[in-house]
Amino acid sequence: MKEYNKTYKRKKVIRSDEYYEKQKEYRASPHGKKVRTFNSWKSQGIIGDYEKIYERRMNTQSCDCCNCEFKSPNDKHTDHNHKITDTDNFRNILCLRCNTLRNFIDNDYQLVMKMLTF
């Protein structure tokens, strides 16, 4: 085991302040923001043509369901079907309220029907 550790142990990389400044600049650039968004979608399980989804998200000014206007880009939620894991599962750009409601409807349709008749 000691032999293995000597051969394959990762060396700690010391990075300069210049490196961190370049990373910060890249993350703030349009391309850096797009790449971070794509990586976030991948980790959330969103599958599809990321370029098309990104363009639609950037050009959408209001919720696709209730038509309320987005006040900031953080108000936009990329709705997707969690049950589909092997093909495109993107649905719409929604506000938080509509996205949450859609999730409840998908998960427990009978509960929603009970609430409507209550």
Q: What is the pLDDT of residues 93-111, one digit of tens each?
A: 999 999 998 888 877 777 7
Of residues 27, 52, 28, 30, the one with CA closest to residue 41? 52
Domain that holds residue 64: 18-117
* CATH of residue 74: 3.40.1800
Say if pTM beats, i.e. exceeds, 0.95.
no
Q: Note the pLDDT tens digit of each residue in 28-87.
A: 999 999 999 999 999 999 999 999 999 999 999 999 999 999 999 899 999 998 888 889
Rounded to the nearest 10 degrees, what angle do helices 30-44 and 50-59 cross at? 110
Overall domain count for the chain: 1
Strand (E) or helix (H) holding 2: helix 2-8
